[in-house]
Amino acid sequence: MPRLCKPAMSAPEHVITVEETLEFAEKAHAGKPQLPLALRLIRNTGVKKRHMVQPIEKTLQHPGFEERNRIYEVESKKRTPQVIEQALANAELTPPYIDAIIYVSCTGFLMPSLTAWLINKMGFRSDTRQIPISQLGCAAGGAAINRAHDFCVARPGSNVLIVSCELCSLCYQPGADDIGSLLSDGLFGDAVAAAVVRSAGGTGIELERNASYLIPDTEDWISYAVKDTGFHFQLDRRVPGTMEPLAPVLRELAKDHSWDAGKLDFYIIHAGGPRILDDLAKFLEVDRDVFRHSWSTLSEYGNIASAVVLEAARRLFEDDTPAPGATGLIAGFGPGITAEMALGTWAETSPLPALERTAHGRKRTV
C-alpha cells in the first residue's frame, strides 16, 4: 500500500509573537468598535508566535497585489528546494524516482505552476506529472495526501512528491477591519512543507482508505474576495461549529473500515483554531491531548493552512513514533466547507533493493 513518509517543514526567519500582534492591531485599528472583540479572539487562538517572509513593518505597508505576487514567486522559489530535498532524503529517494508532484498553495498565483520550475531546476524527469491545487485552502494538505494515495493505487510502483507553500502574510490586508480579517491577522502564519508518498517501502503511515466530504450550502463560509489589493480572506462566524456535522462523517469513514474513530492510536488534524480541535475532541469522545501534534503546530506557527497536516505528521515521526500496526486518522478542513480524510497504519519496512531509472523513467533493479 502507498506510504506517507516523514515530512519536512521550514518556517521563515521573521517572527512575530502574540504580544506584538496585539500591539500592532491596537495601533492599526485604534478606535474601531470591533477591536476589543478581535483582541480577545486573538488572545484565545492559542498562537504564541508566527513566522513571516517579511518583517511585520514591511507587511503592513502593502505594496499592492502585483508586488505581493512577485514576492510570492521569489520566496516560493527560494524556500521550496531545501524542504523538498529533505523530504526526498526522508523517503530515501532522489528526484528521478518521483512520478508526480502535487503542489498546494492558496496564498499566491503562478502560471505555469511552480511544479514546472521545480522539474526544470531540481532534476525531476520531464515526464513527471504536475498536479497543482490552489483553491482548497487549508483542506489542500489532506487533499494532496489523498490524491497521492489515489495516484499510487492507480499506477503501482509510482512515488508522489507533495509540496505545500503557504505565505499567508502576503494576504494580510491592513485596511480590512471586520472581525474575520482581524482574527485571521493574528492566526495565520507562513511555512513550506513537503512529503513523499511511496508506492512501497519506507517507514511511515500506510494509507489504506480516504474520503472527501462537503457540508452542503456552506461554500461562502470560508472564501476569498479577489480585489485590486489581492486576496481578502472572508470567514463566517459559523465556521468554528463545523466539527459537529463533520465528526459523524469521520466516524462513518472509520466504521466502514471496521475501526472506531474514537479509539485510534494517532490523529493528524488540521489546526484551524482552538475550537476546531476542542470540538472535534468532544464529538469524537477523545481526550484533547490526542491532537497534541496539531496543538503544538498551532502554538508555535499559527494556522499554516495546507502545511498544518504535514507539520503535525512530522511531529508524530519525530516526537511520538507509533508502534508498527498503530492505527490513525488524517483530516484537513477548508473552504467548501470541505473535509479531506484518510485512515492509515504505521508501518516499517527494511530497505528495498536498489533501483535506477532508465532514460525513459522505467525502473529496474540494480
CB atoms near residue 99 (< 10 Å): 21
What interhelical angle do 308-319 and 292-301 show, nearest 10? 120
Strands (E), 116-158: 129-133
Q: Which of 138, 152, 168, 171 is catalytic?
A: 138
Query: Is residue 5 flagged as an active site residue?
Result: no
Helix (H, G, I), strand (E, B) or coil at 153: helix
What is the rounded CA–CA span in Å between residue 168 and residue 40? 21
Strands 327-334 and 266-269 come out as parallel
In 93-189, the DSSP E strands lie at: 100-104, 129-133, 159-167
* Residue 252, helix vs strand vs coil: helix
Q: Please give the Cα distance from 39 to 31 (Å, whole number).
A: 13
Count CB-CB contacts under 10 A for residue 51: 20
Grid cell listed for 322: 507509533
Q: How many CA atoms lie within 13 A of 341 on its CB side?
A: 20
Pairing state of beta strands 338-347 and 355-357?
unpaired
What's the CA gap between 148 and 9, in Å, rounded? 18
Distance CA 258, CA 290 (A): 20
H/E segment holding residue 16: strand 14-17
The cell for 30 is 485604534
Paired with 340 in beta bridges are 212, 332
Active-site residues, by number, are 138
